[in-house]
Amino acid sequence: MYTPETDPIISTTDDEGQPIVFTKAKWEEKQVDHPELLDATFMANVEKTMQAPEEVWPDYADHTAGKTDKQCYYRKYSSYTYVKVVVWVNDSPRRVVTAYGIDCVKEAKYTGLDRLR
């Protein structure tokens, strides 16, 4: 459950049964560029996205560099917005790199990039 007073602020498991965390330090760092992270409803949806993404894609920058360290978890947030959670998957627990609202599944636009699940 999202609790901004604890560290990590979110600690759960993802759709593959892997532990995943959003640390307080990363949340505080990212809210400067993504003020939606200050909204409790949005953060509840970040947690849902971490637990049960509707789409998972490889991170484009990682993919073009031949790496597989990051994945992008997406879940519909409203009729025109997705929650995007970028996750570092090569650690245990997996770690949130950033999270924000976006109007599309960005990775779907790139040729040669295939949806993971």
Over residues 14-60, the pLDDT tens digits come to: 999 999 999 999 999 999 999 999 999 999 999 999 999 999 999 99
Q: Which domain holds residue 97?
A: 10-107
Task: Identify the band that residue 2 occupies on the pLDDT scale cut at 50, 70 and 90.
Answer: low
**DSSP, res 1:** -
Structure tokens at 67: 């790496």
What is the token pair recorded at 30? Answer: 């990212």
Global pTM value: 0.94
> Considering the domain boundaries, does residue 75 fall inside one?
yes
Q: For the chain, how long is the longest CA-to-CA vector?
A: 42
Question: Residue 2 in contact with residue 43, Cβ under 8 Å?
Answer: yes
In the chain, the number of structural domains is 1
Separation of alpha carbons 37 and 30, rounded Å? 8
In a domain, 84, yes or no: yes
* Contact indicator for 30, 36 with CB cutoff of 8 Å: no
